[in-house]
Amino acid sequence: MTEDQRNNPKLLVGIIGGLTLLIAIFFAYQWLSSSTADKSELQEELVAAPAKPPVAVPVQSETEASVPAAETDTIKLVEEDILDAAVPENASLAKEEIAKLDDIQQQLNNQEQSLKQQHSDADELIKMKEEQIKLLEAQLAQQAK
């Protein structure tokens, strides 16, 4: 190979492009195979696990909190049958049940607090944006004169 052939920019770009393509294909294969494995494991768990109603929904993130109010009305935070369930006669089981219910109540209180904070932050942002719009309108009126 001559010196010109070794330093050819087209050859270097071709080699780098080919390597990049191979790496991208490898990662895509790994990602697809792991996602299908996760789905099959999830299906196996759903089939193997007995049907057990969820107790509580964890605190929502900011992106989940932005869901419209009509959609959030249908989300259940706590199953209704938990209110009618009998308290176990065994003292240790009763204490565990009370601790579990206290944890659920704490999660709900934390969620309520975070939602109130998000609501107040949103109100504050709206006020600040309204002020910014008024200032921009005043600047436009000043420039138009």
Instruction: Specify the pTM.
Output: 0.37
pLDDT digits (tens, 9 = 90+) for 64-98: 555 555 555 566 766 777 767 776 678 888 888 88
What pLDDT, on the 0 to 100 scale, is given for residue 73?
A: 57
Chunked into runs of 10 residues, the chain (145 residues) has average pLDDT values of 73 90 92 73 56 49 50 64 72 86 93 94 95 94 89
> How far is Cα 74 from Cα 58, in angstroms, rounded to an integer?
16
Helices (H), the chain: 3-6, 9-48, 62-65, 69-72, 81-84, 91-144
